[in-house]
Structure 1
């Protein structure tokens, strides 16, 4: 699908966003570079778009000022006694209307307005003669470095003796290698060379520029003394000015240069889902999933035994402590709506297990991230590890524990009571026969203990009631064991679900935020770079 190319303003905004997202991760110089380019681009866009600013840069003795005067058409570089040397920027301005704010932004005080136009169709133009960048005065180099980052067009002026000097290449030309579209290269004092050598030296200079990264810059041979190449340089400047695109191309070049360290970086792949599952398994283990599940199953068996066991013995189960209450676990929130436990704090082994889980996950999602971002994830993971024991305790506390037998088991309780009642009826029957036979005579006549198939009915009531109670107690105990195993598995799953939610909120999201910040940073960089 066709993607609309970002406008220059959108690219500058994206660079500003990238600077914000990179704060705390980029080195101070990297962050300052992004901030400076974003600010300078926005400021330049807000100033005169009609004027093209061309800066002449050169080393001491290169004849830069003389060439500047030759291009201007007047020796304005020495027109004032206060400027005997190139110690401060000097501006020659054609069509000065609207240039004041731009020159103020450039911090150029010495301004010379020129009559007419620089060249037919060139439009408003500002030529700057700048201090020598190899001056012994630090302020001169500071001015030159600053303006090299502000002018629309850069004119590098050198001579046959200094064209290969490392100062101009390492400190000035190479850092602006992305600016080929707004760069002119001049080999001044070419009259010092034999005519047959002029092209060879210019080609050598061009080769060095190519090595610096300026692939499309053509070298112009000039001589301020003889006037050689001056018209050709004027024509080249006029051609750039006539296009009225130097400002835009300069800002675009700045954006490309500023984003180049990251422009080719690829967003990291999504972390494997297995990493989250492995962490949840480890954290569940550290949270005491086995212990909690066993306690829940034991609590279920105890409560079922109390509810459905043989009534003559099941009451004794009430004196056994409830496994869940022993751990301080509540199946319902307390009066404050808070779940708490009195489970002991994670021991060293459990903490080590939990730490391994978090660090393993942090390592997995750091894969593919630069050192600064992966270090930030590692640091955040250590903070999370410090808070994890309390979080796991709260997770265990709020886990829904299926330790209470269902109400359906109540029918067994009713049957147990009926069985016990039957046995009691048999016992009372025999007692009444022995001690109060007259009370039974009106009901049973002379046969106070009737039989069924040779078995006395009271005896059947006693034996049947007791046997039924015991058998039911044994059966429910067996069922309790089977169901308890299922309860144990369900509890583990429930705790793991709670652990998964906790790890999502307390581990995945905080660490993922850092990772997402890098992805957003790269997206902003790509937009700023024009990708």
Structure 2
């Protein structure tokens, strides 16, 4: 009892492991859909559906099919194994395209046979002596795989995909038949553990001929990847070798592993085929250079250089207005402000910063994208697509290319809004302007005072009134010092301040370029890189699911 309990526990573990692999294959099929040739995806889905259904019906039964060509003695072997005369042999073979089933033991196999769609069935609840030890076996006699009736071949092909174990019955004359080997044995090489090849009619051979045929048959199977398949020589007519065949069948039935092994082989084959169609190359991370090139191209298309130049000029203009000699600085007011002209000014009246809600940012007046810029963006998109899909199969590569361009129609508006919503940092870093401005007005006041002083002296002299007392500063008349000194000092201060304004303009331009590039990079990430990473992530998930499905 303890041994049976351990065996049952082991089978449950195997079933749980198989179920996990089936789920992984189903996941891989969904991920590969639309990226991998449909036949490979359809086969994976078929295996998932078939495995789920097989595990759900009569899990304790073992379905073994006898398959072979016309005249191989397949039906005679079926009768000999069942101890009945259920299968019609020889010239009395029926023309029906359906298989014949015989179940052993008291457990009903009706649900399983309904799933297999086999109407001709027989139950051996009280098995004859020749069938002792085969309880739980469901034995099928398939139509001839080389029948002239297409319906017969279709039925064989259908059941070959569904049964737990296959026994190919061959005869000494046609055991090397290319139709059998090319159509069935070679494609099923991965199922060698649940296949057996029986050489029938060995009673017609001498011992030397028998050994030679069996040796040649094993050589052929090994060359086709079926070296682990069991090979037996039997005679359905005389009964030779049948006891060994029953013994091996009994062992397979008692182990109750044939179904799981067959299904696991199906899952492995389907996963291997899907992996071959999908591609198994590990894709490297997106290189920073490709991402930077994409951002640079979009920045060019968004007229970032124009904005940076406008920031430089606007800072110089505004700095000149604030720190220049007031007598002449007012002339600069007639010059257009580059940022206001582009609708990128974020300063309100009085130089105060005006906050802008990014969701309500309007259109700018930036120059339209030129053909050259559009060509550069298109080239950058193609380069990024090639880099991102390097090493992928055609279907996945095409999916990545579609992902790269999925947001292309949104790019113009998104770039324009990104530029319009970028804080160009022009509201700060200007306190010293106020100090210079105050100094300039003090100097203007000095000039005005000097002029008034000189004017008063001129008026008094003209009216022949007593003159004002002489006041000398540095041996020069004070009014003259105030007037000329104020003018010269104002011009000197404006010149020195101009140097500071130019240096500040360059810094503001550099920072504006960085801020704008950051905004453009966010657009690149959202509309270009994110779809690409999603598609590449799907590819990686598919690879991981296929590895799990293959039991890796």
Aligned to 1:432: 456
Aligned to 1:218: 230
* 3-state SS in 2 of match to 1:463: helix
Aligned to 2:513: 492
* 3-state SS in 2 of match to 1:155: strand
Deviation of the 1:106 alpha carbon: 0.8
Is 1:64 equivalent to 2:74 in the alignment? yes
Aligned to 1:502: 523
Residues 207-253 of structure 1: CA distance to partner in whole angstroms, max 9, x if unpaired? 22223222201221222222222222222211111111111111111
CA RMSD across the alignment: 2.6
The separation in 2 between residues aligned to 1:335 and 1:75, in whole angstroms, is 86
Which residue of 504, 519, 522 maps to 1:483? 504
Aligned to 1:413: 437
Aligned to 1:255: 267
Aligned to 2:251: 239
The separation in 2 between residues aligned to 1:141 and 1:219, in whole angstroms, is 24
* 3-state SS in 2 of match to 1:466: helix
TM-score (normalised: structure 1): 0.91
Aligned to 1:169: 181
Please tell me whether the aligned partners of residues 19 and 34 of structure 1 are also in contact (alpha carbons under 8 angstroms).
Answer: yes
Deviation of the 1:206 alpha carbon: 2.0
Which residue of 461, 469, 472 maps to 2:482? 461
Aligned to 2:138: 126
Aligned to 2:421: 398
The separation in 2 between residues aligned to 1:191 and 1:86, in whole angstroms, is 30
Aligned to 2:38: 28
The separation in 2 between residues aligned to 1:135 and 1:381, in whole angstroms, is 53
Aligned to 1:94: 104
Deviation of the 1:351 alpha carbon: 1.2
What does 1:177-188 correspond to in 2, within 5 Å? 177-188=189-200
Distance 1:215 1:342, change over 3 A: farther
Aligned to 1:530: 551
* 3-state SS in 1 of match to 2:187: helix
Which residue of 272, 296, 299 maps to 2:287? 272
Residues 482-525 of structure 1: CA distance to partner in whole angstroms, max 9, x if unpaired? 22222222222222222222222221111121111111111101
TM-score (normalised: structure 2): 0.88
Number of residues paired by the alignment? 522
* 3-state SS in 2 of match to 1:419: helix
* 3-state SS in 1 of match to 2:197: strand
Distance 1:428 1:113, change over 3 A: same
Residues 263-293 of structure 1: CA distance to partner in whole angstroms, max 9, x if unpaired? 7934223233333233333333343332221
Distance 1:47 1:62, change over 3 A: same
Structure 1 residue runs without a partner (length 5+): none
* 3-state SS in 2 of match to 1:74: coil
Aligned to 1:50: 60
Structure 2 residue runs without a partner (length 5+): 1-12, 347-354
Which segment is superposed worse, 402-411 or 34-43? 402-411
Please tell me whether the aligned partners of residues 303 and 366 of structure 2 are also in contact (alpha carbons under 8 angstroms).
Answer: no
The separation in 2 between residues aligned to 1:182 and 1:330, in whole angstroms, is 78
Residues 324-378 of structure 1: CA distance to partner in whole angstroms, max 9, x if unpaired? 2223334353696225322123111111112222222221121221121112212
Is 1:284 equivalent to 2:299 in the alignment? yes
* 3-state SS in 2 of match to 1:77: coil
Is 1:110 equivalent to 2:125 in the alignment? no
